Structure 1
């Protein structure tokens, strides 16, 4: 009978029933170095504008710092292994590339729903207290997942699994139960540095260390202002996130088996959206297109800023007029990106517009985009 099995086995069976591809257990204090590494990372300023990382660092350093009653951590992974190569559109200038994880419904909602279902079952079965977390909470999911045996943190700093490659959404359940822990994951990157070499912006100062300020995922999602000039061309046609370091991981070859049981379903219209269509989005249109998507979280202005950078990198002169239409956008971050994009797509038209725009533009960052001709230190 099921009740005759150890509780840890029953937890894993229930997790699999709910769509989790991986489940492991660790003691609450099983990742003692995570807090120290976090403090160093923050002290070096590598988190960029992610101020909340600083504000809740005291909670992130260990599970007990967030909830003193915790005794065990149940770490869970849900596969989102893509059916197609995420790098296949790299040379398709007219389309935008959206990170694989953002092509479906908001994974936060999906995972939290399943975590809560597992939590309800566990509370009823074992009579314990527990808390469930996805990555919006101050939880060190990756070190805990490694401690619980789901895999190891690779040189790209994300979790790598022998069975699921680099394609796992992570969640955690903190519980007051003293559960039998699993063996921790073992680093199996070896001499491979494919993820480091794949990064277009050299965001890895060393293996296992990420400088978020240079990361395209950070720049297109977390960063609120203009995209820094040195990184604009490297962004290419990536309009939300970047999969490059994940996609080249050799361990992904084992992830194919997980696709048959995929709980995460991408939306076909987000696989290769046309830049011209996205440039036309106003706030209402953006909300409609990205309803239920994690992309909605960054807002229309930041997203269109990303699309403008991609349009500039496309080299397609047909996009010059849709770009020019955004020179009067209410959002300064959009106007500035439009000015830069127009200079890349149609320098003569940019030059004709320049004097008139400078005479009426009040925002200093937008004025800076008009102040320097294309190719003269402005990308």
Structure 2
């Protein structure tokens, strides 16, 4: 069995995964109960799929009763430098580090399938592959496998990779010896909680997605509540504040996989250019990018909130041009941005 695990790890490394560890997929855990409390409190917001799939998410065997072992893979997507200083130029948009390269689902999925085929051939047992789109709780599995731990910001972080790991999981019906789980190493640090621009953490290790800018920019479809529009600053897709401020990033390295490295066009793009995107131009710019899945209208809504926060009068024409956009949410955002840009410096904020 030790030889089998070593061969799987070698095969994973050959496919570009920097982490490959093993966990039991059948033993009891408390993650399902924590998720149920999160949903019962309404903290999942409009992500209705979390409620409808709650029972299947409760435990790996609730989705596949044949699962015995979880092989947890990690792919590093670390940025070359701290991305947060980019937020200082309010005439540019900020796209989360994870979304600056190719869609990680597509980058990882093919490699997972290749590795899963090898695992099935070696063990003679069934396998299933997961990359975050299926009802499987990857982060608790990753902690159980010793990849890292869920920090106070609820994201997975690692002593060797910081906060920058994409996760993939292979469930196998084969019994394999698990690795030692990871324990929590946050200590008294609250850097991630203190950095959140919208106070989305009711307590350490708890998240209210309804206040999270990643949720609002990506999952939320309608006009934002007023209190969050100014707080988003220039963040137009996702938010990295709680990840990037973590001291454990001092051990992280920049991504070596070219497909997840940042495209030049998606690092601090000009808001004026983004506001002018029609559907075809949006799809072209974000080809193979995870940004494409939210669609042009939702993305331009985010851009307009950033335009309103820019303080750049040169962006008034960009907002004005969208006040008669066919989409009512875009029109609302354009009117809000225009009102902000035309406001006199000493005028009270709305």
TM-score range, shorter chain: over 0.9
Q: Does 2:230 match 1:251?
A: no
Say which of 139, 161, 169 aligns to 2:136: 139
CA distance in structure 1 between the aligned counterparts of 2:28 and 2:130, rounded to whole angstroms: 17
Aligned to 1:308: 304
> Residue 36 of structure 2: SS of its match in structure 1?
helix
**1:139-178 alignment runs, 5 A limit:** 139-178=136-175
The structural deviation recorded for 1:180 is: 0.3
Question: For residues 27-176 of structure 1, what are the structure 2 equivalents within 5 Å?
Answer: 27-30=24-27, 32-176=29-173
Contact 1:25/1:148, CA 8 A, preserved across alignment = yes
Check 1:58–1:375 CA distance in 2 against 1; reply closer, same or farther (3 A cut).
farther
**C-alpha distance in structure 2 between counterparts of 1:377 and 1:218, whole Å:** 29
Higher CA-based Rg: 1
Q: 1:263 to 1:10 in 2, by over 3 A?
A: farther
Cα distance in 2 for residues equivalent to 1:67 and 1:142: 18
Secondary structure at 1:37 match in 2: helix
Secondary structure of 1:53's aligned partner: helix
1:205 to 190, 202, 205: 202
Name the counterpart of 1:369: none
Query: How many residue pairs were aligned?
Result: 350
1:258-282 Cα shifts (integer Å, max 9, x gaps): 6346662221110110000000001
Counterpart of 1:223 in structure 2 is: 220
Q: CA deviation at 1:30?
A: 4.2
TM-score, normalised relative to structure 1: 0.89
Match of 1:317 in 2: 313
Establish whether residue 274 from structure 1 lines up as the match of residue 265 from structure 2. Answer: no
1:240 aligns with 2:237: yes
Instruction: Give the Å deviation of 1:128.
Output: 1.6
CA–CA separation in structure 2 for the residues paired with 1:237 and 1:266:
18
Cα drift, residue 150 of structure 1: 0.2
SS in 1 for 2:73: strand
Structure 2 unaligned spans of 5+: none
Partners of 2:191 and 2:155 lie apart in 1 by 14
- When normalised by structure 2's length, the TM-score is 0.97
Q: Measure, in 2, the Cα distance between the counterparts of 1:22 and 1:376.
A: 53
Measure the CA separation in 2 of the matches of 1:330 and 1:125.
56
Separation in structure 2 between the aligned mates of residue 347 and residue 97 of structure 1, nearest angstrom:
24
Offset, 1:113: 1.2
Given that residues 43 and 208 in structure 2 are in contact (C-alpha distance below 8 angstroms), is that contact kept between their aligned partners in structure 1? Answer: yes
The 3-state SS of whatever aligns with 1:10 is: helix
Report the CA distance between 1:29 and its aligned residue. Answer: 3.0
CA drift at 1:127: 1.7
Closer, same or farther: CA 333–112 of 1 in aligned 2, 3 Å: same
* Contact 2:9–2:20 (8 Å) recurs in 1: yes
- CA–CA separation in structure 1 for the residues paired with 2:292 and 2:346: 33
Alignment check: 8 A CA contact 2:200 2:212 kept: yes
1:329 aligns with 2:342: no
Residues in 1 aligned to 2:184 and 2:259: alpha-carbon distance in whole angstroms: 27
Separation of aligned partners in 2, 1:252 and 1:17: 25
Q: Could you tell me how far 1:42 is from its partner in structure 2?
A: 0.2
RMSD of aligned alpha carbons = 1.7
Distance, in Å, in 2 between the alignment partners of 1:58 and 1:378 is 45
Shift of 1:322: 1.1
Report deviation, 1:126: 2.0
State the alpha-carbon separation in 2 of the partners of residues 146 and 31 from structure 1: 14
- Worse-superposed segment, 82-91 or 237-246: 82-91
Q: Answer yes or no: is the 8 Å Cα contact 2:101–2:261 preserved in 1.
A: yes
For 1:284-303, list aligned pairs within 5 A.
Answer: 284-303=280-299
Determine the C-alpha separation between the residues in 1 that align with 2:106 and 2:329.
Answer: 29
In structure 1, runs of 5+ residues without a counterpart are: 349-373
